[in-house]
A and B are shown apart, each in its own frame.
Chain A
Amino acid sequence: MPQATFPLVQLDAYRWEIPVTAKPGMRVPGIIYADAGLVGQIQEDQAVEQLANTATLPGIVRRAIAMPDIHWGYGFPIGGVVAMRLDDGIVSPGGVGYDINCGVRLLSTGLADEEIRPHLGALADRLFRNVPSGVGARGRLRLNAAELPGVLQAGAGWAVRRGYGRAEDLRRIESAGAIPGARPEEVSRKALTRGLDQLGTLGSGNHFLEIQRVEEIYDPATAAAFGLRHPGQVTVLMHCGSRGLGHQVCDDYLEVAGRSLPRYGITLPDRQLACVPIASPEGRAYLGAMAAAANFAFANRQVITHWVRESFEDVLRRSAESIGLDLVYDVAHNMAKIEEHTVDGRSMQVCVHRKGATRGFPAGHPEVPEEYRDVGHPVLVPGDMGRYSYVLVGTAVALAETFGSTPHGAGRMRSRSEAKRLLRGVDVADALARRGILVRAVSRDLLAEEASEAYKDVADVVRASDGAGLTRSIARLQPLAVVKG
């Protein structure tokens, strides 16, 4: 592919600036949080140019920001954070992405890894059966059209009221599992149709459900506050989003935005950046529909949590309560949120787009749930299925510099076809099994696309993020069994 030739100006060991003069139309500079090693990889594809493109968008505040896991996406780069003024700024459906509120949820248990080793195969089988995934999967929960607006309005709360989960789960979800201001009436009939039988489904690609063990704890006091107490403790991590309902909302509003560009006098370097003024009927409609889709995703992860608990109960023949399976936290990493931030010493409301970035508010922030107010809420950063995932916490530095944003994952390093070429003849599931990691997958021969070799080492991403002061590492988790769509 043609390489972007953007001159990056190194500000310090972990900060690289794209000068505002790098590309015509840039309104603000860009900044990439990475170390020298990661910057080399980042410059290999078109991610830097994509970040520069977002700096041309109307109403952008301070600068276009990229996390250390930045990579080439469509429109916005994955790992991009862009905040907009509410009065003259835009909201971009493509800047949130097709998988609205794609996110990660972590559960802790009171089990030790040696206790579940003998049951691991049965647990993986049961999870694989109980949580539908992959092409052609139908949810076990079939909603009727009259129920769906309630899901879109109340999110995880809808699921808990229907018996999927515990009341206390809601206290440990970003925005308590329901983004306010959802407008189901702005969600198209097609999007609603796609959602009817997809609640409680995982999807495919990089989505997963994983049984893990705590490998290492870096900050025992904060880890204990999160319910992570000792190496060997069993946890469960899931990664999924709003499924076809969210994809359709994005598609519908990209079309709306594309049509209305001339009316609002917006010109763009890439059609996928199509956007509308936040303070316009189209902008308000999109934010209402996006919130509805985000709530569908929160409900999705809540229903899956319930089935995870049932699966453990069935296999271990103990109550879920006695096993634990307590919600640690649930974070979104594809979202646009109206938040209060201090910019140039002044408090203002902005619309923060996080496209493959996690909110990481620190101790004391009013939007951190009460039980984590003293330490900051957990930031969940999954790695690839062969290595490890991290639990971090956000810092005051992130709040001041990145609108409280932190990384969201390892970031891909190789395309799917490169990964397959590299691993030709390797049975990825067998290779993982030899290392003690069980895999259950709908399309086993596509596992190479998601193998460790396709991803950056998430430890490098975390080291850069911690090094820049955006996050602090709390614990590292290791996969024991992985369910893939």
Chain B
Amino acid sequence: MRTYETFDHTADVGLVIRGRTLEELFANAADALVDLTIDPAGLEEKIHKTITVSAADLEALLVAWLNELLYVLDADGFLPRRVRIANLNDTALTAELTGDTVDPNRHTVRRLVKAATYHGLSLSRTNGLWEARMILDL
């Protein structure tokens, strides 16, 4: 199973994210976002953070989760190397993050994602595998 891949969108980038559990899917979504932003191999596991996100429903929660990571990137310069979803229900999640402060002198930086959008958003389970599709604004 590929945990995530991108699909073509003219202006922005589409993401397909998969997971055997919802927790795994949400963690894989974070990995995808980090991978678009920076070469994750350069990130050290030296800062710990716990974040909590809530939204109206599960699909919106996925959007809110990625946008919260973008907020933390802007506010603290932080990107996670390792993500553990500690708690998850349809409208809220708590995540344990371990990662690094982005430093263009140490890291191979890629691109800034502006936001995760609700356009064409889907999240469903087929044959025991969760899959989400979404468009990120670059």
Which chain A residues have a beta carbon within 8 Å of chain B's beta carbons? 1, 45, 47, 71-75, 78, 94, 97-99, 134-138, 190, 193-194, 198, 203-205, 244, 247-248, 250-251, 254-255, 258-259, 270-272, 274, 412-418, 442-443, 446, 449, 485
Contact = CB atoms under 8 A, between A and B. Distances in A.
B17 interface: no
The 6 A-B residue pairs with the shortest CB-CB distance in the complex, in nearest-first order: A74-B119, A136-B102, A135-B109, A415-B8, A244-B74, A272-B119
A454 B54 CA distance: 37
Contacts of A1: 8
Given A73-B119, A94-B119, A136-B107, 12 more contacts: A72-B11, A74-B118, A99-B114, A136-B102, A138-B77, A194-B75, A204-B111, A205-B111, A250-B115, A412-B10, A416-B13, A443-B111
Contact of B67 (A74, A251, A413, A415): A251
19 contacts: A71-B11, A72-B11, A135-B112, A136-B103, A136-B104, A136-B107, A190-B75, A194-B75, A205-B114, A244-B70, A247-B115, A251-B67, A255-B64, A258-B118, A271-B119, A272-B117, A415-B8, A415-B10, A485-B111
B56 interface: yes
Contact of A190 (B6, B71, B121, B137): B71
B119 A78 contact: no
A101 to B, nearest CB: 13
A415 B6 CA distance: 11
B71 A74 contact: no
B10 A71 contact: yes
A98 B114 contact: yes
B73 to A, nearest CB: 8
Interface in B2-58: 6, 8-13, 37-38, 55-56
B71 to A, nearest CB: 6
Contacts of B117: 74-75, 94, 98, 272
A135 B10 contact: no
A415 B9 contact: yes
Interface in B73-131: 74-75, 77, 102-104, 107-112, 114-115, 117-121
Contact of B119 (A75, A412, A415): A75
Most chain A C-beta atoms within 10 Å of own C-beta, residue among B102, B114, B121, B138: B114
Given A136-B104, A190-B71, A194-B74, A272 B9 contact: no
Given A412-B10, A417-B8, A134 B119 contact: no
A251 B64 CA distance: 9
Contacts of B112: 134-135, 203-205, 485
A187 B14 CA distance: 29
Interface of B is mostly: loop
B109 A136 contact: yes
B112 to A, nearest CB: 4
A238 B114 CA distance: 18
A370 to B, nearest CB: 35
Contacts of B13: 415-417
A254 B118 contact: yes
Nearest to A196: B75
B104 A134 contact: yes
B62 interface: no
Given A134-B112, A190-B71, A271 B121 contact: yes
Contacts of B37: 135
Residue picked from B10, B11, B37, most chain A C-beta under 10 Å: B10
Contacts of B9: 72, 415
Nearest to A191: B71
Contacts of B111: 134-135, 204-205, 443, 446, 449, 485
Contact of A446 (B11, B102, B110, B119): B110
Contacts of A136: 38, 77, 102-104, 107, 109
B135 interface: yes
Most buried by B among A71, A136, A204, A259: A136
A251 to B, nearest CB: 5
Given A72-B11, A135-B102, A244-B74, A443 B110 contact: yes
A248 B71 contact: yes
Contacts of A97: 137
A415 to B, nearest CB: 4
Nearest to B55: A255
A193 B71 CA distance: 9
A194 B8 contact: no
A419 to B, nearest CB: 10
Contact of B75 (A71, A193, A412): A193
Nearest to B71: A190
Nearest to B9: A415
A98 B8 CA distance: 20
Nearest to A72: B10
A334 to B, nearest CB: 11
B109 A443 contact: yes
